[in-house]
Structure 1
Amino acid sequence: MTPLEWLVAASARAPLPDDEIRARLAPSLVDGSGGPAGINAALASVGPLTILAKGGSENRVPVRGPAGDYLLTVHVDDAGLVDDLQLTPDDLKPASWAEIDARLAGLGKRVSFAAAEIDGGQSRIVHGLDADTLRPIGSAFKLYVLGALAQAVVEGRASWDEPLAIRDDWKSLPSGTMQNHPAGTEFPLSEFARLMISISDNTATDHLIHRLGRDAVERQLALFGHQRPEANVPFRTTKAFFRHKTPSGQLWPAPVDIDEVEWFASPADVCRAYAGLLRFDQPEVGNALSRNDDGLDLDATAFPEVWYKGGSEPGVVTLHYLARTAGGGRRAVSLMVSDPESTLDTLPLIAEAQPVIRGAFHLLA
């Protein structure tokens, strides 16, 4: 039975025992989802799935659930464990921004959104919903760390192939894999950047923050046109973030100070950050950002290149995309959902949000 077939079969048997979950899913996915209880909660919210007969592949297949039809995609690591999965619903293209707003309203208690055109390295908001409202953004702050690294390369203070050794005192908690390497193991800065963005590696992120200096990342906020850089000063490492949220080193089940201890930006800020990253015109930036679209699955003929970074913790889900059109134009969409009092069901929320994001790109194009 393939990992995908197991997942479909398991959806009808939830709750699953802890040992079965850990035998099939990578620790980064289990721990990042709130442990086995979080996995079982996600399976229960989706309901039993069945594979449809209209095609698919070993890692991607159309399925049907109680709420409709979906495309189920899994990624398997070198050990054969599922370390990422997306459940993307079939959707109709919206006819107007008013329809987009109506669908956004159902996503959560606090929703902020921006859809932008990027031309000449400048971002212009085409449509927004609280687009200038500062929100917690989770791991999307790593866009600014990536920008600080690219800026250091431009200014001759770093190079993409510069080796950096793993340090035990710079290690953080998952998501990611770099925390598993022994101290002294060296990787080029480009590898730290790739893992920081593509799998949101927290240890890779903290190593880059320490290598570049917090002041360099804080400076990048202003260089990218962030409306309130001071909201992120002093700039936190992920290790410091976890120390506040979970002193015992365990995942926390409910929102903890998401409006006080986080990283903050508005959707318009994130669109400007994407514009700033484009201005560098450095292949390593695009390489890091284009490895993983989190299952958005835009039409590749209309959008041949897609950049993505998201972020989440209990009470916070954010999704941020930039796509290149077939004609060479750039479009960006930033969505932020947060609730300081209630935990958001991350996987179902993303499954509901991605059709709205695809619809926004359709309107932007």
Structure 2
Amino acid sequence: MRGVRTGAVLAAVLCGATACAGGNVKAPESTGDAQAAGRQLEWLAAASRHLPISEADAKAHISSAALSSFGGAAGLSKSLARIAPLTPQLPAKSALRGAAGWFNGAHGVSVFGGSAIDGSGMISGLYFTRQPASWGELDAGLRKIAPDVSFVTAEIDRKGRCRVVHGVHADTPRPIASASRLYILGALSDAVARDELSWETPLAVNDAWRSLPGSGTLQSKRAGSMMTLAQYADAMMSAGDGTASDHLLHRLGREAVENELTALGNRHAQADRPFLSARQELALKGAADYPASARRYLALPAGKRAEALTGLDAVKLSAVKPWEQPRDVDRIGWFASPMDVCAAFKGLADRAAKPGQSNVGHALSIADGGIQLDPKKYPTVWYKGGGEPGVLTSNYMVRTAGGRTLVTSVLLSDPKRPFSPNTELGLLAFSRAGVQLAGESEQ
């Protein structure tokens, strides 16, 4: 299961999401140099300003297998010519195995680029995608990217209302995967405000609340290890950590989180009741007898499903297996519309502005999902994404230097097919376009 965040964007590049080179590229081994991939991406951008790239120069930076798949230096130069020259907007974000960043490309269009490197530090995979330059281009792209799409860019006005700037099925609910944890964060903030809990309240890691690997790292933490609620919140929001979210859900109580659906303005809250834990969703969709177990759950009257959760909690994690194809994405999970997401961000912003509630904004601003907005123009960036096979969502709230508050929410679902890494990376371009097209009057 994947979330659309910076780590997942890089992982997709590393696994071979290549626009220039077709096919998959095996994830490379770590080189031990955290800046090597960034330097290679910088070289590529510089080379794009002096095309064509010579065969000798290409061989000095690109693995032989990757260069062959590009069609040699000539093929790579031809591909780059469509978007070149590339000039970095901000320094690329670099990791041990890859780098990603935004560039000004041909005709002033923004381009997202990523590179993977192999064990010797050579480029082994490349990905580039153009950011939509208009609302019409964005709409056309959304129609192609998924069968079920809901989108909004909205402005939270001075009266606290979400005013649509541009929308596509903005009031239509879709599955939101781990973006549902916005409501857990809200419930925690409210419990702190009522002095029932503190951000520094300790909570021990509980074996019964662990999730599967792939959604954070806390599932590997030793049972009994103590963490503060603030630390759980940070992991839940920045890394999509299912173990962290389940610890908070159990500590707060399901009723408190379900009440938060209404408190944060989710007009489709009934679809989220009972509010599943991450582990309960795993038990339903990852069971050995799927789809039988899911069908039994869905056959229950809505009011009786909460009674079945105890049985799901008893399912051993060892009996649950990850899945690669969409499973009941429209019937099991968590749901909201883009306008519901806007309302949730507005409510969380209200909470974060109160004394003692800065942890709300901190948790939401640790990761930016790879959007890399200029901090001088967008000093505040909040992000929560989410995904599973057949579901992708990317949600941002930003404040502009001019004092405007904008929310962009993109919700994609496909009940028949999983999304490719290219779709994950393309989703980032739609999110960024939504923010910048709405904020361009200040640029």
Fold match, TM over 0.5?
yes
Give 1:217's aligned residue.
Answer: 257
Aligned-partner Cα distance in 2 for 1:16–1:356: 25
Mean Cα deviation higher: 319-328 or 247-256: 247-256
Aligned with residue 144 of structure 2, among 103, 106, 109? 106
Tell me the amino acid that sits aligned with residue 271 of structure 2. A
Tell me the amino acid that sits aligned with residue 192 of structure 1. Y
On the 8 A contact 1:136/1:265 being kept in 2, the answer is yes
Which secondary structure does the structure 2 equivalent of 1:307 belong to?
Answer: strand
Give 1:355's aligned residue.
Answer: 429
On the 8 A contact 1:255/1:342 being kept in 2, the answer is yes
2:389 paired with 1:314: yes
Query: Which structure 2 residues correspond to residues 147-226 of structure 1 after superposition, within 5 A?
Result: 147-174=186-213, 175-226=215-266
2:368 paired with 1:293: yes
Any stretches of 5+ residues in structure 1 without a counterpart? 26-43, 75-85
Tell me the amino acid that sits aligned with residue 324 of structure 1. R
On the 8 A contact 2:132/2:138 being kept in 1, the answer is no
On the 8 A contact 1:88/1:295 being kept in 2, the answer is no
Mean Cα deviation higher: 49-58 or 259-268: 49-58
Which secondary structure does the structure 2 equivalent of 1:105 belong to?
Answer: helix
Mean Cα deviation higher: 53-62 or 8-17: 8-17
Aligned-partner Cα distance in 2 for 1:355–1:276: 26
Give 2:327's aligned residue.
Answer: 256
C-alpha displacement at 1:61, in angstroms?
A: 5.5
C-alpha displacement at 1:352, in angstroms?
A: 1.8
Mean Cα deviation higher: 8-17 or 200-209: 8-17
Aligned with residue 339 of structure 1, among 400, 414, 437? 414
On the 8 A contact 1:123/1:272 being kept in 2, the answer is yes
Mean Cα deviation higher: 126-135 or 218-227: 126-135
Deviation readout 1:335-361 (Å, 9 max, x if unpaired)? 01101111111x211222222222221
Structure-2 change in CA distance of 1:8 and 1:112 (3 Å): closer
Structure-2 change in CA distance of 1:87 and 1:278 (3 Å): farther
On the 8 A contact 1:112/1:133 being kept in 2, the answer is yes
Tell me the amino acid that sits aligned with residue 186 of structure 1. M
Aligned-partner Cα distance in 2 for 1:326–1:254: 42
Structure-2 change in CA distance of 1:221 and 1:171 (3 Å): same
Give 2:267's aligned residue.
Answer: 227
Tell me the amino acid that sits aligned with residue 363 of structure 1. L
On the 8 A contact 1:138/1:316 being kept in 2, the answer is yes
C-alpha displacement at 1:229, in angstroms?
A: 1.2
2:165 paired with 1:123: no
Aligned-partner Cα distance in 2 for 1:236–1:178: 19
Aligned-partner Cα distance in 1 for 2:128–2:180: 25
Deviation readout 1:88-140 (Å, 9 max, x if unpaired)? 6343632xx33322222121111110111113443222221111111111111
C-alpha displacement at 1:332, in angstroms?
A: 0.2
Tell me the amino acid that sits aligned with residue 117 of structure 1. E
Deviation readout 1:161-204 (Å, 9 max, x if unpaired)? 11111111111113111111111111110000000000000000
Structure-2 change in CA distance of 1:195 and 1:73 (3 Å): farther
Structure-2 change in CA distance of 1:269 and 1:87 (3 Å): farther
Aligned-partner Cα distance in 2 for 1:10–1:140: 24
The structure with the largest alpha-carbon Rg is: 2
Aligned with residue 266 of structure 1, among 321, 337, 355? 337
Structure-2 change in CA distance of 1:98 and 1:61 (3 Å): closer
On the 8 A contact 2:184/2:248 being kept in 1, the answer is yes
Which secondary structure does the structure 2 equivalent of 1:357 belong to?
Answer: helix
C-alpha displacement at 1:312, in angstroms?
A: 0.7
Superposition TM-score, scaled by structure 1 size: 0.79
On the 8 A contact 1:88/1:296 being kept in 2, the answer is no
Tell me the amino acid that sits aligned with residue 186 of structure 2. G
Superposition TM-score, scaled by structure 2 size: 0.66
Structure-2 change in CA distance of 1:132 and 1:303 (3 Å): same
Give 1:136's aligned residue.
Answer: 175
On the 8 A contact 1:224/1:272 being kept in 2, the answer is yes
Give 1:240's aligned residue.
Answer: 280
Any stretches of 5+ residues in structure 2 without a counterpart? 1-9, 32-65, 81-85, 104-109, 117-125, 288-318
Tell me the amino acid that sits aligned with residue 196 of structure 2. R
Which secondary structure does the structure 1 equivalent of 2:144 belong to?
Answer: coil
Structure-2 change in CA distance of 1:212 and 1:343 (3 Å): same
C-alpha displacement at 1:15, in angstroms?
A: 5.2
Give 2:113's aligned residue.
Answer: 71
Tell me the amino acid that sits aligned with residue 414 of structure 2. D
On the 8 A contact 2:209/2:243 being kept in 1, the answer is yes
Give 2:131's aligned residue.
Answer: 91
C-alpha displacement at 1:300, in angstroms?
A: 2.4
Aligned-partner Cα distance in 2 for 1:293–1:88: 19
Structure-2 change in CA distance of 1:130 and 1:70 (3 Å): closer
On the 8 A contact 1:254/1:315 being kept in 2, the answer is yes
